Amino acid sequence: MSRPLALVDGGNADAVLLRLRSALDGSGPAVFPVAPDAGAEAAADLGGASAVPAEAALVVQTSGSTGRPKRVALSADALLASAAASADAIGGSGQWLLALPAHYIAGANVLARSIAAGTEPVLLPAAHFDPAAFADAAAGLTAELRFTSLVPAQLARVVDAAEHDGRVLEAARGFTRILLGGQATPPELLERAAALGIAVTRTYGSSETSGGCVYDGAPIGSTQIAVHDGQVELAGPTLALGYLDDESRTAEAFVERDGCRWYRTGDLGELTTGDDGGGGTADGAVRLRVLGRADNVIISGGVKVSLDAVERAVRSLPGLEGAVVVGVRHPLWGEVPAVAVAGDRQPHPFLDDVRAQVGAELGAAARPAVLEELDELPLLASGKPDRRAIIARLGGRIAG
């Protein structure tokens, strides 16, 4: 059996909310929020296939490491299980502020969790994220329990503003919990937020797990974590049905083992006891530590180099907490690490200092060949660094 699929402009959060409400209760079609101005392209790419499996309620498009789009199909049961697990982990259901695009899983989750809680979300206009506008929107929250989801770049702007603007500080402190996900967070940012009294929980998950299902390194709800052959795998009721019209990719990502269905995340990780290295408490509990993408590796001079490991080492240096490390082509070594940093923070270490520190920690092949200071780091709509744009910019610094 199948179910109709409705494409909705993800820039119109009110429309997504309306469609998602009927998708979750079964009275309407499944909803596919798409990026603004991408509706015609998405419709053409679907090739007229306007139906999805009967269980599907939401379709979220996400790009893999190859850039090939994946369309993740999620059931109402998975989304509602995610909402229930999150509410249990953060102290209850409440009112949400939407500060992320509704066509990303974290944004769609804010709407789904509002529906599950029976509250009306406050919708921040889908434009350039501004701490003052964030504070204005937060003033519209009326429930006792207040939540929002941000990415690190957004939290950094809130913290920067809150350190000198009492109104932004009051708004940020007013949230019962701010969920933070999408990418690794510099420890310094978490420390600054904590010093201001802002309650932040780091989340880990993806569209394939209905969003975050691991909070501060610990699984929430019925989520199970395993590290199999060095790669993080997740199981539980929040897993996606699979990828639309892509059986081979679905079979690669979702595997059966010991009677349980697991999602292979593509991330490298380890299970540790106590502090997960990112602000968790040393309470003796088992926590997940994500080490980086399994596919975010370059070969430099015949040596494998994890760009995630280089980025962690670079970000440990003063002035480079928000740096981004990418791999760029090199005429002699094949590929080399390159560092981009926003020019709004001074001073930045010299390249020689960075190379010495990274080389001592990770070996000569991991030493960055470029340190470029940009006016601002290019970002995707999700708030994550636009690594392709950064590669295009930094690649020109390597002599042919």
Q: Which two tokens stand for residue 342?
A: 């926003």
Tell me what the pLDDT averaged over the chain comes to: 88
Q: Above 70 in pLDDT, residue 210?
A: yes
Mean pLDDT, residues 303-310 taken together: 88
Q: 2-291 and 297-395: same fold? A: no
Q: Would you place residue 280 in the very low, low, confident or very high pLDDT band (cuts 50, 70, 90)? A: very low
Residue ranges of the domains in the chain? 2-291, 297-395
The b-or-e profile of 216-243 (16+ CB within 10 A means b, else e) is bbbbbbebebbbeeeebbbbbbbbbbbb
pLDDT on residue 274? 62
Q: Would you place residue 74 in the very low, low, confident or very high pLDDT band (cuts 50, 70, 90)? A: very high
pLDDT on residue 47? 57
Dihedral angle sign, alpha carbons of residues 84, 90, 93, 98 = negative
Measured distance CA(199)–CA(173) in Å, rounded: 7
Cα angle: 149, vertex 151, 273; to 5 degrees: 90
pLDDT on residue 283? 59
Query: Across-strand partners of 328?
Result: 336
pLDDT in tens, 5-45: 999 999 899 999 999 999 999 999 999 999 887 766 776 66
Give the chain's end-to-end CA distance (angstroms, integer): 56
Dihedral angle sign, alpha carbons of residues 147, 150, 152, 154 = negative
Residue type at 23?
A
Mean pLDDT, residues 138-155 taken together: 94
Q: Above 50 in pLDDT, residue 89?
A: yes
Q: What share of the chain is helix, strand, coil (3-state, %, to 5)?
A: 30, 30, 35
Q: Would you place residue 148 in the very low, low, confident or very high pLDDT band (cuts 50, 70, 90)? A: very high
pLDDT on residue 254? 97
> Which of 64-68, 167-171, 240-244 is predicted least confidently?
64-68
Q: Above 60 in pLDDT, residue 279?
A: no
Classify domain 2-291 at the CATH class level: alpha beta
pLDDT on residue 7? 92
pLDDT in tens, 341-360: 987 655 677 899 999 999 99
pLDDT in tens, 164-176: 999 999 999 999 9
The enclosing H or E element of 273 equals strand 260-273
The proportion of the chain whose per-residue pLDDT surpasses 70, expressed as a percent, equals 90
Q: What is the topology classification, in CATH, of domain 297-395? A: GMP Synthetase; Chain A, domain 3 (3.30.300)
